[in-house]
Amino acid sequence: MKIELKGRIDSNNAPQIEKEIMEQLAGQNDASVVLDASGLEYISSAGLRVILRLRKTYPELSITGVNSEVYEILDMTGFTEMMRVEKAYRVVSVEGCEEIGRGANGTIYRIDQDNVVKVYNNADALEDIQHEREVAKLALILGIPTAISYDVVKVGESYGSVFELLNARSFSKILANEPEKMDWCVKEYVALLRTIHSTAVPEGKLPDNREWFIAAVKQVMDYLPEVAGKKLLGMVEAIPRSDHMLHGDYHTKNIELQNDEVLLIDMDTLAVGDPIFELAGMFNAFIGFSEMDHQVILDFQGFDHETAETFWHKTLSAYLETNCETKIREVEDKARILGYTRMIRRSIRRGGLDTEAGRAQIDFWKERLLKLLEETDTLTFSFNELELEAVPEKLEEVQAFVDERLERADCPPKAQMQIGVAVEEIFINIASYAYAPERGTATVRVEVSEDPVTVTVTFVDHGMPYDPLAREDPNINLPAERREAGGLGIFMTKKLMDDVSYEYCDGKNILTLRKEL
Amino acid sequence: MIDLHMHTIVSDGTDTPEEIIARVREAGIGLFSVTDHDAVKGAKRILSVRTAEDPAFLTGVEFSCRDEEGKYHILGYGYDPDAEPIRRVVDLGHGYRMNKVKARLDFLSTQFGFQFPEKDLQALFALDNPGKPHIGNLMVKHGYAKTKEEAIRDYIDKLRFRSEYVRPEEAIEGILGSGGIPVLAHPVYGSGGQLILGDEMDKRLRRLTDFGLQGVEAFYSGFTAKLRAQMLAFAAQYGLYVTAGSDYHGSNKLVSLGDTGLGDPNEWPEGLKRFLTDVKA
Residues in A touching B255 (Cβ below 8 Å):
53
Fold assignment, A2-88:
Transcription Regulator spoIIAA (3.30.750)
Helix, strand, coil fractions of chain A, as percent rounded to 5: 50, 20, 30
pLDDT one-digit tens code per residue, B74-107:
999 999 999 999 999 999 988 888 899 999 999 9
Amino acid at A201: V
**Dihedral sign for Cα atoms in the order A459, A464, A470, A474:** negative
Residues A508 and A494 sit within 8 Å (Cβ to Cβ): no
Low-confidence ranges of chain B (pLDDT < 50): none
Running DSSP on this structure, what letter comes out for residue A507?
A: T
Q: Does B160 contact A at CB distance below 8 Å?
A: no
pLDDT one-digit tens code per residue, B207-249:
999 999 999 999 999 899 999 999 999 999 999 999 999 999 9
* Residue numbers of A between 1 and 30 with CB closer than 8 Å to B: 10-13, 15-16, 18, 22
Find all residues with CB under 8 Å of A7, minimum gap 6, and list them.
Answer: A39, A40, A41, A42
> Among A56, A76, A77, A79, which would you mutate to test the B interface (most chain B Cβ atoms within 10 Å of its Cβ)?
A77
Interface size A-B, in CB pairs within 8 Å, comes to 61
The series of mean pLDDT values per 10 residues for chain A, 517 residues long, is 91 87 83 89 90 89 90 90 87 88 82 88 80 89 89 86 84 95 96 94 94 95 94 96 95 91 91 97 96 93 95 96 89 97 94 92 95 93 90 92 88 91 92 88 91 91 88 69 69 90 92 92
- Round to whole Å and give the CA distance between A212 and B46: 79
- Round to whole Å and give the CA distance between A141 and A138: 5
A46–chain B nearest CA distance, Å? 6
Query: Count of CB atoms within 10 A of residue A377's CB?
Result: 11
- Round to whole Å and give the CA distance between A342 and B22: 80
Pairing of strands B2-3, B31-34: parallel
Pairing of strands A151-155, A271-272: unpaired
Q: What per-residue confidence (pLDDT) applies to B191?
A: 83
CA distances from A152 to A48, A101, A256 (A): 25, 18, 21
* Residue numbers of A between 32 and 71 with CB closer than 8 Å to B: 44-46, 48-50, 52-53, 56-57
Q: Does B193 contact A at CB distance below 8 Å?
A: yes
* Residue numbers of A between 369 and 388 with CB closer than 8 Å to B: none
Q: What per-residue confidence (pLDDT) applies to A484?
A: 60
| Domain A175-375 homologous superfamily, CATH | Aminoglycoside phosphotransferase (APH), C-terminal lobe (3.90.1200.10)
A53–chain B nearest CA distance, Å? 7
> Among B137, B188, B254, which would you mutate to test the A interface (most chain A Cβ atoms within 10 Å of its Cβ)?
B254
The partner residue sitting opposite B194, judged by closest CB among A45, A49, A81, is A45
The residues facing A52 across adjacent strands are none
CATH 3.30.565.10 maps onto chain A at: 385-516
Nearest to A289 by CA among A241, A357, A219, A344: A344
B226–chain A nearest CA distance, Å? 5
> Among A45, A48, A71, which would you mutate to test the B interface (most chain B Cβ atoms within 10 Å of its Cβ)?
A45
- Round to whole Å and give the CA distance between A253 and A103: 9
CA distances from A244 to A139, A198, A205, A230, B130 (A): 12, 6, 11, 27, 74
Residues in B touching A15 (Cβ below 8 Å):
149, 252-253
Helix, strand, coil fractions of chain B, as percent rounded to 5: 45, 15, 35
**Dihedral sign for Cα atoms in the order A179, A183, A184, A187:** positive
CA distances from A8 to A14, A17, A53, A283, B48 (A): 9, 10, 18, 56, 44
Between chains, do B224 and A79 touch, taking CB under 8 Å as contact? yes
Domains of chain B and any CATH numbers? 2-90+168-278 (3.20.20.140), 97-158 (1.10.150)
B232–chain A nearest CA distance, Å? 15
CATH 3.30.750.24 maps onto chain A at: 2-88
- Round to whole Å and give the CA distance between B82 and A413: 102
For the question of an ipTM over 0.90, the answer is no
- For the domain covering A385-516, report its CATH number: 3.30.565.10
CATH 3.90.1200.10 maps onto chain A at: 175-375
- Round to whole Å and give the CA distance between A394 and A138: 45
Residue of chain A minimizing CA distance to B225:
A78
- Round to whole Å and give the CA distance between A196 and A142: 9
Strand, helix or coil for residue A116: strand
Whole-model pTM?
A: 0.59
Q: What per-residue confidence (pLDDT) applies to A89?
A: 83
Running DSSP on this structure, what letter comes out for residue B147?
A: S
Q: What per-residue confidence (pLDDT) applies to A206?
A: 94
Between chains, do A77 and B190 touch, taking CB under 8 Å as contact? no
Q: Does A73 contact B at CB distance below 8 Å?
A: yes
pLDDT one-digit tens code per residue, A54-69:
998 888 999 998 988 8
In sequence order, which ranges of A155-208 are alpha helices (DSSP H)?
171-177, 182-197
Between chains, do A44 and B227 touch, taking CB under 8 Å as contact? no
Between chains, do B149 and A13 touch, taking CB under 8 Å as contact? yes
Structurally, at CATH architecture level, domain A98-164 sits in: 2-Layer Sandwich (3.30)
Residue of chain B minimizing CA distance to A22:
B254
Give, to the nearest 10 degrees, the angle between helix A226-237 and helix A356-375. 70
Nearest to A21 by CA among A8, A34, A7: A34
Nearest to B43 by CA among B165, B180, B242, B246: B180
Query: Count of CB atoms within 10 A of residue A43's CB?
Result: 25
Q: Does B233 contact A at CB distance below 8 Å?
A: no
Residue burial B91-121, b: 16+ Cβ < 10 Å; e: rest: ebbbebbeebbeebbebbeeeeebebeeeee
Q: C-alpha angle A274/A280/A281, rounded to 5°?
A: 105
Amino acid at A248: G
- Round to whole Å and give the CA distance between A354 and A350: 9
Running DSSP on this structure, what letter comes out for residue A264?
A: E
A21–chain B nearest CA distance, Å? 12
CA distances from A67 to A13, A81, A129, A475, B51 (A): 20, 17, 19, 93, 53
Strand, helix or coil for residue A366: helix
Most distant CA atoms of chain A, gap in Å: 122
The partner residue sitting opposite B153, judged by closest CB among A12, A45, A53, is A12
> Among B132, B149, B224, B228, which would you mutate to test the A interface (most chain A Cβ atoms within 10 Å of its Cβ)?
B224
